Amino acid sequence: MIGILVYVLVTKKTCDIEINNDDNKEIQIKIPIEEKETITKEKLEMAKQEIIESGNYDVDFDGEIVVYWNTNGTKYHIDKNCPHLHNDNSPEIMYGTLKAVFQKGITDPCRICIKPSHN
């Protein structure tokens, strides 16, 4: 029978794993933890205002702005036919609210279908 000891230390930045067996063989693994951007009401409102100023967007049954993204993408879109939405060889186009896309860590708009406001 082999005994194994596993030590796990989780901090804000890493997950450190140390494994020891009866033969005193040691394995150490350090996994970085990705920090997600904090979603604030202000960030969502700024993004929403920018979309409204860009015009031509879809809304859901609750009146929330609908955005699109693909499973390999890093930006959200308001035009479901945007060429940048379809050019990442992504197998699936997703859609939902701004809050939903922000919660997935996609917080940057496509600058083709969402023009920056010049306030």
The CA-based angle 53-59-60, given to 5 degrees, is: 155
Owning domain of residue 90: 41-109
Q: Are residues 27 and 45 in the same domain?
A: no
Q: Are residues 62 and 94 in the same domain?
A: yes
What confidence tens digit (pLDDT) does each residue in 57-111 have?
Answer: 888 888 889 999 988 888 999 998 888 888 756 668 889 999 889 888 889 999 8
Task: Report how many domains make up the chain.
Answer: 2
Give this prediction's pTM: 0.64
Residue 32 Cα distances to 15, 59, 72, 79, 107, angstroms: 6, 37, 21, 35, 21
Residue 118: inside a domain, yes or no?
no
Would you say residue 1 has pLDDT above 60? no
Would you say residue 114 has pLDDT above 90? no
